Amino acid sequence: MKFSRRLDLLKPYVFVEIARIIARKRSEGIEVVSFGVGDPDMPTPNVVIDRLVNSARDPVNHRYPETDGLPRLREAIASWYNSRFGVSHLDPTSEVLPLIGAKEGVGHVAFCFLDAGDIALVPDPAYPVYGVGTMFAGADVYTMPLYESNGWLPVLEDIPVDIAKKSKVMWLNYPNNPTGAVADKGFYQKAIQFAKEYEIALLHDAAYSENVYEGYKALSIMELDGAKDVSMEFHSLSKLFNMTGWRFGMAVGNSEMVQGLFKIKSNLDSGIPQAIQEMAIEALSGSQIYIDQNNSVYQSRRDKLVRALNDIGLKVTSPQAALYLWAQVPDGYTSESFTARLLDDLAIAVTPGSSFGECGEGYIRLSLTTPDNMIDKGVERLLSWKNPSVSGG
C-alpha cells in the first residue's frame, strides 16, 4: 500500500511514545512516576459536570451541533475575556470560535494562511503541533531560537528580511510550553509591529495564561493596541478547569482570521457536542475559584520538585507560570540519554527537551500534573539518587 509523503515526514507524537514506554514498564511490574504529559490530575469541578449531565439528557443536544457553536457560548467566551483581561471589543458573532480542543485549531489554522513555498515563523523549542500543521499545509518552518539569555523570547531583529517577507504566520506561546517563560507588553508590541510591517498573521497560544504563581498575571495579546488587526489567540479550558478529556478550546481575534478558520473547520468537523458546550458555558460564566485552588497545588509541587532537582545538582529556574519545569541536564548527557537514565535508574519518566526542537537539546521537561503522592515518591527517588554521575554519562 502506498502512503503520502507527509506520513514519512511525520515523526511519532512524543507523548504517545512516552505513554507506550510507561505502559511497557508498568506491565513489567515497575511503578513509574511520570512527569511526562501535562494532563491535570484533579477532577473537573462538580458544578461543571452537573451541567453536562443535565444537558446530556436534553434531546436537543443529541443532534449535530453547529460548527461555530451556540451563540450564548460565544457570548460567554467574549464575556470571560472581558472580565479576565479587560478585552471588551470581541464581537461574539464574528471574532470568537469554539474549538474541539485548542490543539485542533492550532493544527488546522495553517490551512488558512500557508501554501507551498510559504514560511511559518515557529519558536524552538515549542509545542510540536505548530510545525506539524505547517508541514501538513506544505509550507516551510523557519525556526526562531529561544535562549535562556533572552528570557526564552525570540529576537525578532535576527529574522532575515528576505525570510520575513516570505513569512505568512508567526507563532508565539506565553506563558510558554516547555520553558515556563512569560512575555511582557513590550515584547508583544514589538511582535505586533513586526507582523504589521511584513503582513504576517500573528498566532498566539495562550493555553497556560491561568496557570500562574505568586501573584503573576499573564497577558492576553488581545489587550495590546492594534493586536486585533493582525492576531488570533488560542485558548483552552483543559488547564483552567481540568477539562482535557472533554476537548474544548477557543480562538478569538481578527474577524477575517477567525472566519477563515471557521471555513476550514466547517468542512472538516461537525462541531463540539452541545452538552460539552453547556459545560464550557458553566465553567466560563461561573466561579473562577477553582483556578486559584489548582494553582496553589501546582505551586506546592513546583517548589518540591525545584528543591529536589537543585539538590541533585540540576539547574532549574522556578517558573512564574505554566505547568512545567525546564531543567538543564548534566554535562556529558543529551536530553534523551538523561531521560533514559532517569527511567532506568529511578523509574521516573520525563520529556526530553529535544522533543520540542533542536534548541531544547540539553534540557528535560517535568510536568506538575502528577498526583501529590507520586510527586512525593518522585522527590524521594531523586534525593536518594546519590550518584547520578552529573559530570558524565
The runs of H, that is alpha helices, within 95-237 are: 102-108, 110-113, 129-136, 161-166, 185-198, 227-230
State the DSSP code for 360. G
Residue 166: how many other CB atoms lie within 10 Å: 15
pLDDT of amino acid 71: 98
| Average pLDDT of every residue of the chain | 95
pLDDT for residue 233 is more than 60: yes
Number of residues that this document lists for the chain: 393
What's the grid cell of residue 387? 550518584
**Residues ≥6 apart with Cβ < 8 Å to 337:** 393
In contact, 205 and 292? CB cutoff 8 Å: no
3-state helix, strand, coil in the chain (%, to 5): 45, 15, 40
Domain ranges of the chain: 5-44+290-383, 46-285
pLDDT band at residue 393 under the 50/70/90 scheme: very low
Which of the pair, 350 or 393, is modelled with greater confidence?
350
**Residues ≥6 apart with Cβ < 8 Å to 129:** 103, 106, 107
Distance CA 219, CA 10 (A): 33
pLDDT of amino acid 27: 86
Q: What is the pLDDT of residues 261-281, one digit of tens each?
A: 999 999 999 999 999 999 999
* Fold match between domain 5-44+290-383 and domain 46-285: no
pLDDT for residue 109 is more than 70: yes
pLDDT for residue 250 is more than 60: yes
Average pLDDT over residues 305-315: 94
pLDDT of amino acid 134: 97
Q: What is the pLDDT of residues 201-215, one digit of tens each?
A: 999 999 999 999 999
Q: What is the pLDDT of residues 67-103, one digit of tens each?
A: 999 999 999 999 999 999 999 999 999 999 999 999 9
Residue 119 three-state SS:
strand
Question: What would the DSSP string read from start to end of 23-38?
Answer: HHHHHTT---EE--S-
pLDDT of amino acid 390: 52
Distance CA 95, CA 222 (A): 11
Give the right CATH number for 5-44+290-383 from 1.10.390.10, 3.40.50.10160, 1.10.10.10, 3.90.1150.10: 3.90.1150.10
pLDDT for residue 187 is more than 80: yes
pLDDT of amino acid 392: 44
Q: Which of 193-197, 237-241, 385-389 comes out lowest in average pLDDT?
A: 385-389
**Residues ≥6 apart with Cβ < 8 Å to 59:** none
Distance CA 140, CA 119 (A): 5
Distance CA 82, CA 221 (A): 13
What's the grid cell of residue 1? 500500500
pLDDT of amino acid 391: 45
State the DSSP code for 189. H
State the DSSP code for 270. -
Return the amino acid letter for 297: V
- Please state which CATH number belongs to domain 46-285: 3.40.640.10
Residue 196 three-state SS:
helix
Residue 128 three-state SS:
coil
pLDDT for residue 310 is more than 80: yes
Distance CA 103, CA 315 (A): 30
